[in-house]
């Protein structure tokens, strides 16, 4: 990456901001991203920004002051999903590039509004997840690109858990509009699948919401009851432009399962890909044949040995400074958002939904 630095600010200092800052500043044994110069943190709750700033030795300021700061070129938007687009538009209006937590927006129309505004302002949009840039997923990408799998046939993608109310301190938004397993966890899986297989062409789906209320079992809100306003078990198929078909299941209702996160099937070999919510993990291959065995693929790509949350921000900053495309970009995030929204439409209408947004596979890191 470049030796230059880009001034960045954070809007939103909740749970995930700690992981971002640890990766940027080089905490917990991580090397840090010197291309990023963190100027300030802001939050609608000023006390939250002040506490996070004190934790990391940074400066806290109001959202308005951060947007007016000429030393901040890029804003990392870590607000709740329903606020992503509104906050992003404010950042663009202030002349700032925007990198958003996932999802890009809670509807495709919202996300397109943000990208259209960025293009009109000649500014960039980036978006999580950036875990597909991690060493394990880039190694899996190299296997696919090598042609070792043969003709690509399809795969499976599974993220099934009992929900987030047992560990998250304030889990209600996961069950409100803009939440749910598809919008919450789908970005990791679908983005990695686009990284591996290319753009999605069509979606079919079924979904359910079998509980209308759920109790919180985590502190500090243990005992409170949350309304459930979204479907919490979503299944379906992704048809890719290259002809591959991937079965997918995203759930906040499943007590336990034994599916691996991602499998990619070819005519010659099958590839096991680790959890796309993480940067590392084991990559495995097995050729066809009754006596064949699984073998580990050595992970030689960088960024596989820790939580590099903000790798996408660093690549975006380097792209701005070097005048080159960045990988976790707005076009990719909008494509993934259209795919996720298509699950809702396909399940509701009992039809296959065609995906219209074009996207290119991000360049290997």
What tens digit of pLDDT does each residue of 26-75 get? 999 999 999 999 999 999 999 999 999 999 999 999 999 999 999 999 99
SS3 labels along 92-114 = HHCCCEEEECCCCCCCHHHHHHH
pLDDT value, residue 222: 96
Helix 311-322 crosses helix 17-25 at what angle (to 10 degrees)? 60
Closest CA to 214 of 168, 180, 172, 255: 172
Q: In what side-by-side order are the strands of the sheet with 125-127?
A: 36-42, 6-11, 74-77, 97-100, 125-127
Average pLDDT over residues 240-260: 98
Q: Hey, what domains does the chain have and what are their CATH numbers?
A: 6-130+309-326 (3.40.50.720), 132-302+333-354 (3.30.360.10)
Q: Which helix (H) or strand (E) holds 338?
A: helix 330-349
What percent of the chain is modeled with pLDDT above 90?
Answer: 97
pLDDT value, residue 177: 87
149-206 pLDDT per residue, tens: 999 999 999 999 999 999 999 999 999 988 999 999 999 999 999 999 999 999 999 9
pLDDT value, residue 138: 98
Task: Give the integer Cα–Cα distance in Å for 19 and 176.
Answer: 24
Task: Give the integer Cα–Cα distance in Å for 272 and 264.
Answer: 7
Local structure of 51: helix, strand or coil:
helix
pLDDT value, residue 3: 79
If one counts every other C-beta atom within 10 angstroms of the C-beta of residue 163, the result is 22
Q: Which helix (H) or strand (E) holds 21?
A: helix 17-25
Task: Give the integer Cα–Cα distance in Å for 7 and 39.
Answer: 6
Residues 352-362: b if buried by 16+ CB within 10 A, e if exposed: bbebebebebb
Provide the pLDDT confidence category of residue 15 given band limits of 50, 70 and 90. confident
> Is residue 11 a contact partner of residue 45, using CB atoms and an 8 Å limit?
no
112-125 pLDDT per residue, tens: 999 999 999 999 99
Please provide the average confidence, as pLDDT, over all residues in the chain. 97
Average pLDDT over residues 83-105: 97
Provide the pLDDT confidence category of residue 1 given band limits of 50, 70 and 90. low
> Is residue 252 a contact partner of residue 161, using CB atoms and an 8 Å limit?
yes
pLDDT value, residue 146: 98
Provide the pLDDT confidence category of residue 2 given band limits of 50, 70 and 90. low
Looking from the CA of 43 toward its CB, the CA atoms found within 13 Å total 20
Average pLDDT over residues 141-150: 98
User: Is 261 a residue whose pLDDT tops 70?
Assistant: yes
Closest CA to 334 of 98, 109, 33, 46: 109
pLDDT value, residue 306: 97
First to last CA, the chain: 11
205-232 pLDDT per residue, tens: 999 999 999 999 999 999 999 999 999 9
């Amino acid at each position: 990456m470049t030796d230059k630095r880009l001034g960045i600010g954070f809007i939103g200092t909740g749970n995930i901001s700690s992981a971002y800052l640890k990766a940027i500043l080089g905490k917990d044994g991580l090397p840090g991203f010197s291309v990023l110069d963190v100027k300030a943190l802001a939050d609608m709750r000023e006390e939250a920004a002040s506490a996070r700033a004190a934790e990391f030795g940074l400066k806290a300021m109001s959202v308005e002051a951060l947007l007016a700061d000429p030393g901040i070129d890029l804003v990392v938007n870590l607000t709740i999903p329903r606020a992503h687009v509104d906050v992003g538009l404010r950042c663009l209006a202030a002349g700032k590039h925007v990198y958003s937590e996932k999802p890009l927006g809670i509807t495709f129309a919202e996300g397109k509004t943000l990208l259209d505004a960025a293009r009109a302002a000649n500014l960039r949009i980036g978006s999580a997840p950036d875990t597909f840039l991690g060493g394990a997923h880039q190694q899996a990408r190299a296997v696919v690109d090598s042609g070792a799998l043969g003709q690509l046939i399809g795969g499976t993608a599974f993220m099934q858990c009992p929900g987030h109310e047992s560990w998250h301190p304030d889990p209600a938004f996961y069950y409100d509009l803009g939440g749910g397993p598809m919008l919450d966890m789908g970005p990791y899986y679908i983005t990695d699948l686009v990284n591996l297989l290319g753009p999605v062409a069509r979606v079919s789906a079924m979904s359910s919401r079998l509980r209308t209320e759920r109790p919180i079992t985590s502190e500090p809100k243990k005992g409170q009851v949350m309304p459930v306003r979204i479907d919490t078990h979503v299944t379906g198929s992704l048809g890719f432009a290259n002809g591959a078909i991937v079965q997918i299941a995203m759930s906040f209702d499943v007590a336990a399962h034994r599916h691996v996160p991602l499998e990619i099937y070819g005519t010659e070999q099958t590839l096991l890909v680790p959890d796309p919510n993480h940067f590392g993990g084991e990559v495995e291959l097995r050729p066809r044949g009754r006596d064949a065995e699984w073998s580990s693929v050595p992970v030689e790509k960088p960024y596989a040995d820790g939580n590099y949350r903000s790798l996408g921000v660093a690549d975006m900053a380097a792209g701005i400074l070097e005048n080159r495309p960045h990988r976790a970009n707005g076009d990719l995030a909008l494509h993934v958002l259209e795919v996720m929204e298509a699950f809702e439409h396909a399940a509701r209408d009992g039809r296959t939904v065609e995906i219209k947004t074009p996207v290119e596979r991000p360049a290997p890191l």
